[in-house]
Amino acid sequence: MYDENLLSSSDLDLNQRIQAAGGRILVVPDVIVNYTADANLRAFRRHVFADGVWVSYVMKFGKRAWSWRHWVPAAFVLGLEGALALGAMNRWFLWMGLGVAVVYAAVSLAVSLQIAIREREPRYVLLLPVVFAVRHFVFGIGTLFGLLLVIVPGEHWKSRRGMKA
């Protein structure tokens, strides 16, 4: 019952259709999943971008395989870019954008420090803010790109990893 047009997000689509029909999703805590993380930051960036694209690109197929939390990174990116762009005309927007960026960096650093202490791995203090930024900003940019693909005629996105040649 998966939609084969959705090369990603098909599980979210199926879950959404089951719930819309009055069904429930059973989560079994005894299930063991072996997950392999991306090998490097570049692979992670590509993966995250594709995940972001599919948040919005599913609408091309008349689907809603997302929840509102998936749109937060796109709103964050748009808000930050908008504030910084408007900052060229009005300093208040520039300071607002810079303030949001500083708060984001401070929270990211604080969370990274907390994880580094818990895991007893000092490198996390410097590495995790980069990973968090890639996750949030690249996912948001991917979502906005997917939205652009929704309005462009034809199907252009053919995989999780790249566009049709």
DSSP for the chain, please give it.
Answer: ---TT-SSSHHHHHHHHHHHTT------TT--------SSHHHHHHHHHHHHHHHHHGGGGT-----GGGGHHHHHHHHHHHHHHHTTT-HHHHHHHHHHHHHHHHHHHHHHHHHHHHHT-TTHHHHHHHHHHIIIIIHHHHHHHHHHHHHSSS--B-SSS-B--
Question: What does the mean pLDDT of the chain come to?
Answer: 88
> What confidence tier does 122 reach under pLDDT thresholds 50, 70, 90?
very high
* 133/126 Cα distance (integer angstroms): 12
- Asked if pLDDT for residue 163 goes beyond 70, the answer is no
pLDDT in tens, 74-121: 999 999 999 999 999 999 999 999 999 999 999 999 999 999 999 999
- Asked if pLDDT for residue 165 goes beyond 70, the answer is no
Can you say whether the dihedral through the CA atoms of 151, 67, 77, 75 is positive or negative?
positive
Average pLDDT of the segment spanning 135-139: 97
**1: closest CA among 23, 32, 33?**
23
Q: What is the pLDDT of residue 158?
A: 67
126: exposed, middle or buried (Cβ count in 10 Å: 0-12, 13-18, 19+): exposed
